[in-house]
Amino acid sequence: MKTRPVVNFFQIASLVLLLVAVALLAAITTMHFAIHGAEVQVPALTGMTVADARSQTAGLGLNLDVDNRYYSADVAAGHILSQSPAAGTVVRREWLLRAAESLGPQKVDVPDMVGKDERVAALTLRRVGLEVGATARLPWGKTAEGTVLAQDPPAHAQGIARPRINLLLAAPGDDAADGFVMPDLVGLPVVSAQAALARVGIQAAEPTYVAVPVGPLGSGDAPIRPPVNPGAVTAQAPAAGSRVYQSTVVQLTVAQ
């Protein structure tokens, strides 16, 4: 007669524990769906038209910003050239995806802007489908203020990456230079590159020398690639076309 209350107690305790376990499991399941239900896998956008990419990302609750345009011989104009984050990345809904649009192969001929007024240069570039990129001014009393002294990429350049032309403009001779357009030093002897930088007061760091393997000169219809001369600049930082100042220290990589 005395064991029945003890049995009832254990039965009630077991029932309470079971109910608590069920409640905890339900809470964990709810939290799992609340957290992971707001996540989505980034789709593969590369190769899609921009319109299709916007449609697909919007359907997944993601935001798409096409913030760059590049020339490409491999991806048709109006299609997605690259994306970030990469396809397959798990992100939360409302995440911002960035993408670059292909302009197709470069067909425009880069006009020669040297000697033109800044406004005339901007209009000329816009007329052929290009735009003004970075600009810098150099005190140069030998020509009128606003005259283009140099450009990057140069006139008639092929294989350019973006539809932007960086300009170096003349400033009055008594002005302080507000910056320079970094020239393309790759291929120059290191001493020539250092001298070019020194002429405008820009410092070059101690060069980094690397061994450059000698590859095949070409076969069949493949273009002949001459070997890199020892002492030639193979890479630079900042890159050509970047805006630099006299306080900028340029890093040069040179072939041994």
Q: What are phi and psi of 132, to 5 degrees?
A: -80, 130
Question: Residue 169 in contact with residue 214, Cβ under 8 Å?
Answer: no
In the chain, ranges of CATH 3.30.10.20 domains:
40-102, 106-178, 182-213+227-256
The per-residue pLDDT string of the chain (256 residues; one tens digit each, 9 = 90 and over) reads 444 555 566 677 677 677 777 667 766 655 554 455 589 999 999 999 999 999 999 999 999 999 889 999 999 999 999 999 999 999 999 999 999 999 999 999 999 999 999 999 999 999 999 999 888 888 877 789 999 988 888 899 988 888 999 998 888 866 656 677 787 888 888 988 888 888 777 889 999 998 876 555 444 554 444 567 788 899 999 988 777 887 889 999 998 8
- What is the CATH T-level fold of the domain 106-178, as seen in this structure? Trypsin Inhibitor V; Chain A (3.30.10)
The CATH number of 40-102, from 3.40.720.10, 1.10.10.10, 3.30.429.10, 3.30.10.20, is: 3.30.10.20
pTM of the model as a whole: 0.54
- 182-213+227-256: what CATH class? alpha beta
DSSP string, 69-101: EE--SSS-TTBEEEEESPTT-EEETTPEEEEEE
